Amino acid sequence: MLATRGTRLPGGEEWLHEVKWDGMRVLAEVSSGQVRLWSRNENDVTVSFPELTRLDAPDALLDGEVVAFADGRPSFGALAERMHQRNPRRAQALVASRPVTLLVFDLLRLEGRDLMDEPLERRRQALEGLGLGSDRCQVPPAYDDGEMLWEATRQQRLEGVVSKRLSSRYVPGLRSPHWLKFPHRERASWVVGGWRPETGSADRLGALLVGEPTPDGLVFRGRVGSGVTGRAAARLRELVEPLAAPVSPFIDQLPRVDVLGTRWVRPELVVDVESLGYSHHDRLRQPSFQGVRTDLAPEDLLERQEPRDQEAGDE
């Protein structure tokens, strides 16, 4: 069951609110203390997380997220090294340097009894009754004050809030209006260094390649396709066309997947982009185009650069 993007935090006694963790969603199947982990696309990912393969709990099916912490905060960059590891020996070696925790927020089956048709309130009570509470597996608290949690997660630079209706049943695969997500997205200005045509078209603009101005030059930060549609795409095409350049303006070597089909431009156009922070490769996570900044020049961004956490960040 997946959350729908919300527009306004709900209030009232019929809702609970949880921290939105920056991790990897999994189903954990517990049988005789042994655990198997399944990803959202139904792949067995147990080998990636050997420290989670045993759990002192009754037979159950748990829904949660695998999270890696760095300096007390969830770090998607730290997790990325773990989540794609399929070599058992390498995965075991990473346990010490990149430990993970299973944060459980739902209980779908308990000792052979299917709980998915039970309301969330009862599932939550049963989950809290399991007594999960170790370095490797925890049940994070839920809150009745969404506004308080929203502000607290913003101040602590956490990913956001998920609000859930207490009466909601669990429907596998459904993106439910009874689960609402409210991510804290970072908004910043970037310089356009290239553009990609829309798939199936040679002329319509489909994505921007953006970078960060530094004293050494323009550093690539990612490709932005979300939000680049309709009138916005047409307007951007008008703006980038006069800036056409024969070579890349980025000082770093771009991945082949980003170079193929790209039209380079002089780094003069500034745009605003929202994102969920940065991946472990210092690329914007889930970037979304917000608009053109005609009031800013690239040198303005260089002058107001601030320190950032390179691993701040989604799914």
* CATH topology classification for 1-21+140-184: Dna Ligase; domain 1 (3.30.1490)
Least confident piece of the model among 156-165, 191-200, 289-298, 300-309: 300-309
Q: Could you tell me the residue ranges of all domains in the chain?
A: 1-21+140-184, 23-139, 186-303
CB-CB contact of 182 with 189 (8 Å) = no
Q: What is the rounded average pLDDT of the residues 199-213?
A: 88
User: How far apart, in Å, are the Cα atoms of 36 and each of 90, 100, 116, 139, 149?
Assistant: 18, 15, 19, 18, 32
Least confident piece of the model among 4-8, 9-13, 73-77, 181-185: 73-77
Is 97 in a helix, a strand, or coil? Answer: helix
Catalytic residues: 20
E strands, 21-120, in order: 24-31, 34-39, 60-70, 73-74, 100-110, 113-114
The 10s digit of each residue's pLDDT in 79-129 is: 877 887 889 999 999 999 999 999 999 999 999 999 999 999 999 999 999
Least confident piece of the model among 20-24, 26-30, 94-98, 274-278: 274-278
CA angle 82, 162, 124 (to 5 degrees): 90
Distance CA 178, CA 311 (A): 30
What CATH code is assigned to 23-139?
3.30.470.30
Cα diameter, the chain:
66
Q: What is the rounded average pLDDT of the residues 42-66?
A: 95
Q: What is the rounded average pLDDT of the residues 22-48?
A: 92
According to DSSP, residue 13 is labeled T
Instruction: Determine whether domain 186-303 maps to CATH 2.40.50.140.
Output: yes
At 185, the pLDDT band (50, 70, 90 cuts) reads: confident
Per-residue pLDDT at 54 exceeds 50: yes
Distance CA 211, CA 221 (A): 5
- Which residue has better confidence, 202 or 241? 241
